[in-house]
Amino acid sequence: MTSTTINPLLIGKGLPPFDKIKAEQVVPGITALLADLETRFSDLEARVTPSWDGLVEPLRAIEERLSWSWGIIGHLMSVQNSPELRQAYETVQPQLVQFVNRINQSQPIYEAYKALQGGDEWQNLEPAQQRIVESAIRDAELSGVGLAGEKKERFNQIQLELAELGTKFSNNVLDGTKAFQLKLTQPEEIDGLPPSALSLAAQTARSQGEENATPENGPWIITLDYPSYIPFMKYATNRELREKLYKAFISRASSGELDNNPQIDRILKLRQEKARLLGYSTFAEVSLAKKMAPDVAAVEKLLEELREVSYTAAKKELEELKAFAKTDDLKHWDTAFWSEKQKEAKFAFNAEELRPYFPLPQVLAGLFDLAKRIFGVTITAADGQAPIWHEDVRYFQIADENNQVIAHFYLDPYSRPAEKRGGAWMNDCINRGKILEDGKLATRLPVAYLVCNQTPPVDNQPSLMTFMEVTTLFHEFGHGLQHMLTTVDYSGAAGINNVEWDAVELPSQFMENWC
Enzyme catalytic residues = 476
Burial of 321 (0-12, 13-18, 19+ CB in 10 A): middle
* Residue 395 phi, psi (nearest 5): -130, 135
Residue 383 identity: D
Q: How far apart are CA 125 and CA 134, in angstroms?
A: 12
Instruction: Give ∠ CA 127-130-136 in degrees, rounded to 5.
Output: 140
Residue 405: strand, helix, or coil: strand
CA-nearest of 495, 356, 498 to 428 is 495
Query: Contact at 8 Å (CB) between 395 and 386?
Result: yes
- 395 touches 435 (CB < 8 A): no
Q: Which amino acid belongs to residue 196?
A: S
CB of 381 closer than 8 Å to CB of 392: no
C-alpha dihedral sign at 325, 329, 333, 335: positive
Nearest to 484 by CA among 417, 432, 444: 432
Whether the upstream peptide bond of residue 262 has omega within 30° of 0, thus cis, is no
Q: Give the residue among 369, 504, 360 at the shortest CA–CA distance from 427.
A: 504
Point out which residues pair with 447 in neighbouring strands: 408, 430
Element (DSSP H or E) covering residue 270: helix 261-277
Give the chain's count of helices (H) and strands (E). 16, 9
Q: What is the C-alpha to C-alpha distance for residues 187 and 257, in angstroms, rounded to an integer?
A: 34
Q: How far apart are CA 237 and CA 192, in angstroms?
A: 6
CB atoms within 10 A of CB 416: 16
- Reduce the secondary structure of 308-326 to three states and give it as a string: HHHHHHHHHHHHHHHHHHC
